[in-house]
Chains A and B, each alone.
Chain A
Amino acid sequence: GAGVSQSPSNKVTEKGKDVELRCDPISGHTALYWYRQRLGQGLEFLIYFQGNSAPDKSGLPSDRFSAERTGESVSTLTIQRTQQEDSAVYLCASSLGSGGSYGYTFGSGTRLTVV
């Protein structure tokens, strides 16, 4: 596609429920990233994919968070047993090649609210 697409754009869920967030990167972009932005705060790195492998998962906050990627395409971020502190905007970015030499393109994000 022309840009990075994320769905849903907004998600309200009850505490304790599981949620899945989807990211569709730019076609041909081998690298894919997930970031989290809490209200009024900066962006936190969560996980990096190169192809369908994840060389760096160091930013995932807890074992309730997991992510997978199918080939060099769609990625899903899953949060199990959501907590109120998970409320944030989850941003996905993709990049042509590894290392970000060509810069990063971000999607519009998924705003997650846990009530």
Chain B
Amino acid sequence: KQEVTQIPAALSVPEGENLVLNCSFTDSAIYNLQWFRQDPGKGLTSLLLIQSSQREQTSGRLNASLDKSSGRSTLYIAASQPGDSATYLCAVNGDYKLSFGAGTTVTVRA
């Protein structure tokens, strides 16, 4: 069974600081990995999708890396803003089923 762990569980930073969110998974036989953002009381918004053959993906201030062999992914958010405050979820896709981490709750202080 795939186990997904996200560290840290919570993070509070001043505006402008860079964020580093970590995700690890136990089974490296994955199709892809997807990072989501969840705002309180809302659904999930997809941020980045990395296929198993890729090393990284970038979208604006967001960059996600994937090291499949070691079972790790890192989400970097540059120059954080208060609007980045949310819970970030890492989801690993192994054979059509997503396995989720518990998330990292980020607070960016103005």
| Chain A interface residues toward B at CB < 8 A | 6, 31, 33, 35, 41-43, 45, 48, 50, 56, 91, 93, 98-109, 111
B108 within 8 A of A: no
| Nearest-Cβ distance from residue A37 to partner chain B, whole angstroms | 9
Q: Contact at B43–A107, with CB atoms within 8 Å?
A: yes
With the chains together, A48 CA to B31 CA distance in Å? Answer: 17
A31 CB contact (under 8 Å) in B31, B95, B96: B96
List, in ascending order, chain A residues with CB within 8 A of B42's CB. Answer: 108-109
> CB-nearest residue of chain B relative to A95?
B96
Q: Contact at A45–B98, with CB atoms within 8 Å?
A: yes
List, in ascending order, chain B residues with CB within 8 A of A33's CB. Answer: 97-98
A98 CB contact (under 8 Å) in B41, B96, B102: B96
B36 within 8 A of A: yes
Given known contacts A31-B96, A99-B96, A105 and B103 CB-to-CB distance under 8 angstroms: no
Number of interface residues of B (CB under 8 A): 24
45-60 of chain B: CB within 8 A of chain A: 45-46, 49, 51
Q: List 16 A-B contacts (CB under 8 A).
A: A6-B43, A43-B98, A91-B44, A98-B96, A99-B31, A100-B31, A100-B32, A102-B49, A104-B46, A104-B98, A106-B44, A106-B46, A108-B42, A108-B43, A109-B43, A111-B41
| Nearest-Cβ distance from residue B108 to partner chain A, whole angstroms | 21
> CB-nearest residue of chain A relative to B99?
A45
Q: Contact at A43–B89, with CB atoms within 8 Å?
A: yes
| Chain B interface residues toward A at CB < 8 A | 31-32, 34, 36, 41-46, 49, 51, 89, 91, 93, 95-103
Contacts A35-B98, A42-B89, A106-B45 known; list 5 others, CB within 8 Å: A33-B97, A45-B97, A103-B34, A106-B43, A106-B46
Q: Contact at B49–A103, with CB atoms within 8 Å?
A: yes
With the chains together, A98 CA to B45 CA distance in Å? Answer: 20
| Nearest-Cβ distance from residue B48 to partner chain A, whole angstroms | 9
Q: Contact at B96–A106, with CB atoms within 8 Å?
A: no
